[in-house]
A and B are shown apart, each in its own frame.
Chain A
Amino acid sequence: MNARCLCFTLFVFAQSAFALPLKLWHGYRGGEELAIEQAAKRFTELTGTEVEMLAVPYDALSSKLTSAIPHQAGPDVFIFAHERLRQFHRMKIVAPSDEAFDRSQYLKPAVEALELEGKVYGYPLAMKCLALFVRADRGITAPKTTAEFEALLERFSAPEKNEFGLAYEAGDFYFHAPLLFGFGGVLFDDTGRAQFDIPAMASSLAWVKSLQDRKFMPQEVSGALVKTLFNEGRAVAVISGPWFTGEIDDGIPYSIHPLPVVSQTQLPMRPFLGVEAAFVSSRSTQSALAQSLAKFLSVGEATVARVTLGRQIPAELAAYENETIAKDSMISAFRAVAETSTPTPNTLEMAKVWEPMKLALRAVLQGGVSPQEAGALAERRYRALNRDKPAPTDPTPWIVLLGISVIAFIGWQIRAARGTSFSRRYPEATRGLAYVAPAATGLLILVVIPFVIGLSLSLFHHEAGEYTFVGLANFIDILTSKGYRITEPLSFYFTLAVTLVWTLANVVLHVSIGLFLAILLKEPLLKLRGVYRVLLIVPWAVPNYITALMWKGMFHRQFGAINAILASFGIEPVSWFTQWSTAFAANVITNTWLGFPFMMVVSLGALQSIPTDLYEAAEVDGASKWTQFRRITLPLLKPALLPAVILGSVWTFNMFNIIYLVSGGEPGGGTDILVSEAFRWAFQRNEQYGFAAAYSVLIFCVLFAWSHVTKRLSGQESA
Chain B
Amino acid sequence: MSTYDWLLMLHVTGAFLFLGGGAAAGILNLRAWHAERPSEVALLLQLIARVAVPAIGIGSVTSLVLGIWLVHHAGYSYGTFWVWAAIVLWVVAGALGARGGRHQTKAGVEAARLAGAGDTMTAELRALVRDPVGNALSYGSGLTLLLILILMIWKPGQ
Asked whether A and B interact, the reply is no
Partner-B contacts on A (CB < 8 A)? none
